[in-house]
Structure 1
């Protein structure tokens, strides 16, 4: 089995690590677009164009599945890609609103994501379908992907952000950008037991199994 993983930057590598653990016999190939990272502040048209260009090596490489390990690329490009390449299977990543709604006790959830993801139609539909009963906090994480990509992490800003959402009653923090997977342990530490941190690495593996009928 061959799996292709795309992200605008290094976030896809975190997803690839998880997939290699989940499918130890699979070949997992990654591509990125670090020359244009981050995607979160770009227009939908820009994201669609850049994503399609960047994944050409995966489209040409006979992948059983291509994972768009980028919430912004999923939000703006996956429907177009599925229509244009109907024989290729794609999986996208979206903020885990449904699991958050099932797990929260306070009804207050923080979604850490890029501006592009948060303003997308797909995100709005996701919230309408699964999060209509939630109070969703969307803190300003617009610089996080850049900091992580360039190894310039502003831990003070992240600490303030995590503390603020916890003080507002959020007991679930959803990581809606794969760049943030690299700082999951830091966010867990900063939350200090006040909130559970969700990201979709394990869910991606289960979804691939289902779509490829591996079990």
Structure 2
């Protein structure tokens, strides 16, 4: 029986589920194999060499599923490891930074764009470079928010602690004349409601998820590699850390769109 090759999506944890959900919405026939490196999250404080090493290990693990494309749904891993992975595999590899930058440039009216992300992503300058590559005169305000990913990995999306953490981290950005704020970490859309509450209703929150899914669709279409048939796929989700927390967040975020396959939780130790 013919089995569709999946799209492999990887992240440092649960953040990439925001990209997976959008791929599933835009491309409902495509099968997804997802890996979240929850045991070693967050990647933001780690040095580039370590992030690249971890990303290589995850890609090596995912190749057993014979994917037709790899999506690095982690901004830090995209910043540090995208080109390395592209050089190591012979299938398309998509990151999340350039799609996010394109979406922000398309939405801004003032030309002043904020970016929040992990320390690694912000310090790399990857978003600033991607934005200025499209629009050289754009004004970019960047802020590292290292406390956000741990909130998401614990499933703490809305609480007094969450609100205070976000307020203390980004409340000062309201003084700038920006009209768009890039959520430069795929974990951050889990906190979007509180971020919007803190930053104000007039600011466009930009997630790279929908633009990344659109790029995935475009590449597969050009290559004639879109999934065929009417049968809905069964997606596989796995992680390197606590499977119970991961499974709970996955089902909460994706709802009834997936079927959890118990065997996929027994992933080998990597790294």
TM-score normalised per structure 2:
0.72
2:197 aligns to what? 189
Deviations 1:115-149 (A, max 9, x none): 11122264453143135322221123122112211
Q: Report if aligned partners of 1:70, 1:177 keep a CA contact under 8 Å in 2.
A: yes
Determine the structure 2 residue equivalent to 1:79: 83
Structure 2 partner of 1:61:
65
Unpaired segments of 5 or more residues in structure 1? none
RMSD: 2.1
Match of 2:174 in 1: 166
What SS class does the counterpart of residue 195 from structure 2 fall into? helix
Larger Rg: 2
Q: Is the 8 A contact 1:166 1:195 kept in 2?
A: no
TM-score scaled by length of structure 1 = 0.89
Tell me if the contact between 2:101 and 2:131 (Cα under 8 Å) persists in the aligned partners: yes
Q: Verify: 1:88 aligned to 2:91, yes or no.
A: yes
1:192-207 alignment, distance < 5 Å: 192-207=200-215
Alignment partner of 2:8 out of 4, 22, 28: 4
For residue 18 of structure 1, report the CA deviation from its aligned partner: 1.8
Could you say which structure has the greater relative contact order, defined with CA pairs below 8 angstroms and 6 or more residues apart?
A: 2
Range that drifts further, 42-51 or 11-20: 11-20
- Indicate conservation of the 8 Å contact 1:15/1:69, yes or no: yes
**Aligned counterpart, 2:162:** 154
Partner of 1:38: 42
Residue aligning to 1:104? 108
**5+ long unaligned stretches in structure 2:** 227-271
1:209 aligned onto 2:217:
yes
Q: 1:164 and 1:106, CA in 2 relative to 1: closer, same or farther beyond 3 A?
A: farther
Indicate yes or no: 2:121 matched with 1:117.
yes
- Work out the CA distance in 1 between the residues paired with 2:216 and 2:187: 21
Whole-Å Cα distance in 2 between the matches of residues 148 and 114 of structure 1? 13
| 1:56 to partner: Cα distance | 2.3
Total equivalences in the alignment = 214
